[in-house]
Structure 1
Amino acid sequence: MNIRLTLIFLIILGIMITLLSRVYFLSIKSNTYYEELSKNNYIKKINKVPIRGMIEDRNGEKLAINEMGFSILVKPHLSSYKHKEKLEQIMDSIIKEFPQFEKDKLIKDYKREDSSYNHDFISVVDYIPYKEFFPKYTILSSKEDIKIESSTKRYYPQKELASHIIGYVGKASKLDILNNELSTYNGIIGKNGLEKFYNSKLQGEMGYKDVKVNALNQEIEILNEKPASIDNNIQISLDIRLQKYIQEVFTGKSGAVVVMNANNGELLASASFPEFDNNIFARGISVKEWNEMRNDFNHPFTNKIINGLYPPGSVIKMGVALAFLDNGVKENFTVNCSGSLTIGNRNFRCWKSTGHGVVTFRRAIAESCDDFFYKGSLKIGINKISHTLDKLGFGQQTGVDQINEFVGVNPNKEWKENKYKQPWYVGETVITSIGQGNMLVTPLQIARYTSYIATGKLPKPHFYKANYEEPKAVDIPSEYLDIIRKGMYDVSYAPKGTASRHISSKITIASKTGTAQVVSIPQAEKVRMKESELQYYERSHAWLTTYGPFENPQYVVTIIEEHGGHGGEAAGEIASKIYDKLDELGYIKPKE
């Protein structure tokens, strides 16, 4: 009997302990858990999406802005067959006021976003301009199943001006949303140019508002609030007046123009031609527009400033001359140019078939004597040339604030072995010394290295102050630069300078012309055809890189005209006009 009572007592004790433990857990241990659940039931978080920042030029001219308008949203959970008629009536009411939209597409877009888990209104029309929507505002806003919200669309008031540099925004993809949470809410993201490079700055930071709501989801009280960021604008170094002027003087041509502050790397103008209107991407490009631009042989989509890869031709000769001097070739080195150099079974011709006679460093640059560089390159070899050009920024990114900048090719023996598994031949050294063969550069690399020649320091090109870096010193003696600068002065002003008949600016300009071959010249051809006699797409690219004023270097102007022929003839007048415009706009300062 005692055993039974003891057993019953233990069972009752066990049940009491279990009940007490459960009461303890529910009243104390899970209090925090249920308190959080309770908060979720009566506290609603409303996200505040910041307005995308504007892009302005250095004088405050607007380059990228937001146009105000409205979006149309529809109540969720109407996708089922039971609500089919109601959904169609809602879409009909939208189409009645805005017949440019297709009913089937609106329904399809709605159903794609609708689900039993979504309790928010669903956007079916992202943007209608303010002026177009406002007269219909009261008609649609009075319908309980439709919600109207303010909306913005990116707009580029300068149209095609600086389009490659500014870039554009587009609809955020699933991958964009995965990598950028804010794009979930605003639906757009920078796709190219500055719009993409500085997307984080331009899109700003999300704000929010915690609101206490009742059982009917009605707001009772604001508990906490953080405004969306408003300091999202960026002001860049471009002067749109200068950019527009360059567009005018480059009309009908294909290529690129860079105008850069030689001392700090600020880019005052940067144009890739042909250009296109970024607004076609902001509003949504049509298949016809896309195909027309994609099939254009002049490649309007390519930002030729950083993605155009060209043989540098003779504009590389200043760097090659520095390589000679930096690797033991004496300053008094001369070559007797007879018009050609024979190596093995190949004849390497100078552009002047009758030869230049006795040529010094200065004259070699002024008259662009190929034979001087052929013979100098044989003295030091390709690896030493490549090493010096590497110090001048070739074969590497400039660091400009643009996306996907190309590095080009600064060839040497190791490069060829890695790429082609082949040995380097002496003939390749010779043609590389005049900027042909495997060497490829971007216009911005040429502009940057021209800045170094002008100032003795290598700047980092940039559009926005956040990307500025102090110009770098390069371990090349300054006396070598003096020889190069005098040669560039002679290009513009010596009687036989290759640009002397085409430079006409009131600003004293140092320059170097270049002609980059697109097709090779057969060995059997004794007299080369004139550029004007070639088919357009077989003509050489015309280079001209300059700095000025010569006595007080302030700006670099680098030009490449695709299939333009001779650099001085094609670009000399354009460069002269740009320097005169810089002076007119007050950029050229007198020497102190």
Structure 2
Amino acid sequence: MKRLNFILLFIGILMIVLLSRVYFLSIKSNTYYEELSKQNYIKRVYQAPSRGLIEDRNGIPLAINNLGFSITVKPHLKSYKNKQKLHNIVKIIAKHFPEYEEEKLLKRYKKLDSPYKHDYVNLIDYIAYDDFFSKFTLFNSIEDIKVEPSVKRYYPFHNAASHIIGYVGKASRENMNNNELSKYSGIVGKNGLEKYYNEKLQGTLGYKDIKVNALNKELEVLKEKKPNEDNNLKLTIDIKLQKYIQKIFTHKSGAVIVIDVNNGELLAAASFPEFDNNIFVGGISQKDWDKMRNSFDHPFTNKLVNGLYPPGSVHKMGVALALLEHGISPSYSVYCNGELQIGNRKFRCWKQRGHGRTGFRKALRESCDDFFYKASLKVGINKISKTLEKYGFGQETGIDQINEFIGVNPNKNWKREKYNQPWYIGETVITSIGQGYTLVTPMQVARYTAFLATGKLPRPHFYKDNHEEPKKVQTDPEYLKIIRQGMYDVANKRFGTAQRHIRSKVTIAAKTGTAQVISIPQSEKKRMKESELEYYHRSHAWLNTYGPYENPQYAVVALIEHGGHGGSAAGPMVSKIYDKLYDLGYIKK
């Protein structure tokens, strides 16, 4: 009896297991196998949109897509059976387009083909429309070749605004892992606005669900979603002004910025020397890359946001505001005899015989170093640094460019953390005239100049729709008035450091700056002329300006690398830029 019960129990358990398996296979797995079945006969083909155009503020195209064709070849032709077909295809391509070598085409095909690949192999990404059109019928009639439309990024103005526009390049494996759309477009923004706004410019994917048979032949389109192409980028720059600045910039290297002081729009911004962005689209040669990378003038560096320079005397307005803010009277003056001795070291004024009795306005007009030496010692570096921070020194400007540098706005804590050393009073003295550890980018100086003109800090931007309200900075209006009067004198009064070099239809307020790149030995009794120094030992020349003086609308900032004196190096050029702004209607009477 026990044996019979055991047998019945075993049969019962076996039946339960079998029924459970049948339930799983017939019901629970139905959804899985139904999806698998769909995949066997429905193919989803993704469609990448055309990359958005980049236009200047007047709708002139700065980055476009040139139409052409790509050549794709049927997969699995490298087998012994189909080998001759592949060789014939490659021969035809090389015959009609001699720039493509047979061996390289074969190598590319073998690299991209695999036993698991069902899509056609992309053998040639792009051939220009005009070059291919006459041969379209021939190639389209070859059974194992598929000719498809293709586009290539093109920059019609070549090297104008090259650093800010940037360029695209072939998407790397890392790009594809981080950005699904780049798997299908094959390109991604590599620099400048092309990279910063890559998500917008590339648009969103579309797709088609296509019914195919066992031979992968398309039978029917079941569903289609068009790619989103609302992806154009309208900039704030005026390419006519940009080209004009490129024409009149006669120096080897530097930067020029034109910014609307009231809203932060950048009408022009150039980093010199420039380069043609088109050389990167198809891949730059090693020879050209090495030439650019090894140049002492650093053409590949976007000096607008990645160039770090001592600000020299353009720093003095911010320091003057710090002095006033921290207790120095507006009527304060010093007697400048040409030098200040601290211990065994002499800190010289640029004018060997000195400026005599000097107050704030004269100190700015004639750029008296000794005034700032003596006044800075009364206030101290920490208070000066705190005020300069409000004006954007040592801070990001927030501009829509990649990897913006923040520079250095030094103080005692900064030096302790950076070098584990104490701060010396001699360092306060040289910091007060924009030397020492202080480093800025031209874009920071442009933003700070806009503040001097309006009392507000705008966020510089290139994309029209990326505007935000300028930041109000707490500063006594009477103090700003003193600064503005000093800047007016620089360009318009006798002994002003730019007065002889600025001639414009517009009344301009300015400040010149000479930023040393090498120190002057104490044994040097008389400072050498910049023209007597080796070129790469010459000081950088700064000129920051705004105008019209009575109703500020634009700031123009120029940095000339190794240009010497800011007034003579940049004054005539900046005057022409204001005249151009006037002629183009940007500056109103």
TM-score with structure 2 length normalisation? 0.97
Bigger shift: residues 217-226 or 397-406: 217-226
Aligned to 2:33: 34
AA of the residue aligned to 1:520:
S
State the partner residue of 2:301: 302
Aligned match of 2:256: 257
Match of 1:162 in 2: 161
Pairwise CA distance, 1:136: 1.4
Say if 2:366 and 2:497, in contact at 8 Å, map to a contact too.
yes
1:543-571: CA deviations, max 9, x gaps? 10000000000000000111111111111
Q: How does 1:285-300 map to 2 (within 5 A)?
A: 285-300=284-299
Counterpart residue type for residue 379 of structure 1: K
Do structure 1's residue 534 and structure 2's residue 533 form an aligned pair?
yes
| CA deviation map 1:174-223 (0-9, x unaligned) | 11111111111111110000000000000110011112233343333333
Look up the equivalent residue of 2:56 and give its one-letter code: D
Q: CA deviation at 1:89?
A: 2.5
Note the aligned Cα RMSD (angstroms): 1.5
Greater displacement, 208-217 / 521-530: 208-217
Find the aligned partners of 2:59 and 2:394 in 1 and give their Cα distance: 35
Describe the superposition over 1:107-146 as per-residue Cα deviations: whole angstroms up to 9, x where unpaired.
2222222222211111111111011111111222222221
Deviations 1:436-476 (A, max 9, x none): 11111111111100000000000100001343221111122
Could you say which residue in structure 2 is the equivalent of 1:508? 507
Q: Tell whether 2:471 aligns with 1:484.
A: no
Match of 2:571 in 1: 572
2:28 and 2:124 mapped to 1: Cα distance? 48
Bigger drift between 543-552 and 520-529 goes to 520-529
2-side partners of 1:259 and 1:115: how far apart? 54
1:266-296: CA deviation from partner (whole Å, max 9, x where unpaired): 0000011111100011122112211222222
Q: How far off is 1:3 after superposition? A: 6.5
Where do residues 161-560 of structure 1 align in structure 2 (5 Å cutoff)? 161-560=160-559
User: Quick one: which amino acid aligns to residue 75 of structure 1?
Assistant: K
Residue in structure 2 matched with residue 126 of structure 1 by the alignment: 125
Deviates more, 1:286-295 or 1:475-484: 286-295
The one-letter code matched in structure 1 to 2:51 is R
Deviations 1:513-538 (A, max 9, x none): 00111221111111111111212111
CA shift for structure 1 position 487: 0.3
Question: In 1, are the aligned partners of 2:252 and 2:297 still within 8 Å (CA)?
Answer: no
4 and 376 in structure 1: CA distance in 2 versus 1, 3 angstrom threshold? closer
What amino acid is aligned across from residue 379 of structure 2 in structure 1? I
The count of aligned residue pairs is 589
2:583 corresponds in structure 1 to 584
C-alpha contact (below 8 Å) 1:447/1:558 kept by paired residues: yes
Structure 2 Cα separation of the partners of residues 11 and 443 of structure 1: 87
Aligned equivalents of 2:48, 2:272: Cα separation in 1: 36
Per-residue deviation, 1:78: 2.8
**CA displacement, residues 210-243 of structure 1 (integer Å, 9 cap, x when unaligned):** 1223334333333322110111100000000000
Equivalent residues of 1:263, 1:554 under 8 A apart: yes
**Matched residue type, 1:573:** P
Are the counterparts in 2 of residues 512 and 544 from structure 1 also a CA contact under 8 Å?
yes
Shift of 1:82: 5.0
Alignment partners' CA distance in 2, 1:358 and 1:221: 90
CA shift for structure 1 position 10: 5.3
Superposed CA offset, 1:75-113 (max 9, x none): 112334554443222212221221111222112222222
Letter in 2 for 1:444: M
Look up the equivalent residue of 1:460 and give its one-letter code.
Answer: R
SS of the counterpart of 1:242?
A: helix
| Alpha-carbon shift at residue 63 of structure 1 (Å) | 0.4
Change in 2 beyond 3 A, CA 1:15/1:425:
closer
Q: What's the CA shift for 1:62?
A: 0.6
Q: Against the structure 1 CA distance between its residues 4 and 291, is the aligned structure 2 distance closer, same or farther, given a 3 Å change threshold?
A: closer
| SS of match in other structure, 2:180 | coil
The runs of 5 or more residues in structure 1 that have no matched partner are: none
The question of whether the paired residues in 1 share the 8 Å contact of 2:209 and 2:222 is answered with yes
Task: Report how far residue 11 of structure 1 moved.
Answer: 5.4
Given that 2:168 and 2:187 are in contact with CA atoms closer than 8 Å, whether structure 1 keeps it comes out as: yes
For 2:572, the aligned partner's letter is E
Instruction: Write the letter of the residue equivalent to 2:561.
Output: E
Q: 2 CA distance for matches of 1:76 and 1:220?
A: 20
Q: Which amino acid aligns with 2:452?
A: I
Q: Distance in 2 between matches of 1:44 and 1:224?
A: 11
CA contact (8 A) 1:306 1:442 kept: yes
Give the Cα separation in 2 of the matches to 1:215 and 1:176. 33
Structure 2 match to 1:73: 72
The structure-2 alpha-carbon separation of the partners of 1:32 and 1:491, relative to structure 1 and needing over 3 Å to count, comes to same
Contact 1:52 1:66 in 2 (8 A): yes
User: SS of the residue aligned with 1:460?
Assistant: coil
Decide which moves more: 235-244 or 171-180: 171-180
Identical counterparts, % of pairs:
68
Shift of 1:304: 0.7
2:105 maps to 106
- Does 1:53 pair with 2:22? no
Residues 375-428 of structure 1: CA deviation (Å, up to 9, x unaligned): 011001111111111111011111100001111111111111111111111111
- Aligned pair in 2 of structure 1 residues 317, 252: CA closer, same or farther (>3 Å)? closer
Letter in 1 for 2:367: S
- Which range is displaced more, 27-36 or 315-324? 27-36
Deviates further, 405-414 or 315-324: 405-414
Change (3 A) 1:16 1:419: closer
The alpha-carbon deviation at position 20 of structure 1 amounts to: 3.4
CA contact 2:544–2:557 (8 Å) conserved in 1: yes
1:81-92 paired onto structure 2 within 5 Å: 81=80, 83-92=82-91
Q: Distance in 1 between matches of 2:565 and 2:11?
A: 106
Query: What CA distance in whole angstroms lies between the structure 2 residues aligned with 1:279 and 1:306?
Result: 22
Contact 1:400 1:467 (C-alpha < 8 Å) held by counterparts: no
* Residues in 2 aligned to 1:450 and 1:142: alpha-carbon distance in whole angstroms: 64
In structure 2, distance between residues paired with 1:528 and 1:209: 74
Distance (Å, rounded) in 1 between the aligned partners of 2:197 and 2:567:
37
Provide the C-alpha distance between the structure 2 equivalents of 1:457 and 1:3, rounded to a whole number of angstroms: 98
Between the aligned partners of 1:574 and 1:10, the Cα distance in structure 2 is 102
Q: CA deviation at 1:25?
A: 2.4
State which drifts further: 541-550 or 170-179.
170-179
The letter of the residue matching 2:213 is N
* C-alpha contact 2:203 2:231 (8 A) present in aligned 1: yes
C-alpha contact (below 8 Å) 1:347/1:523 kept by paired residues: yes
- Equivalent AA in structure 1 for residue 280 of structure 2: F
**Aligned partners of 1:340 and 1:529: how far apart in 2?**
16
| Higher alpha-carbon deviation: 122-131 or 459-468 | 459-468
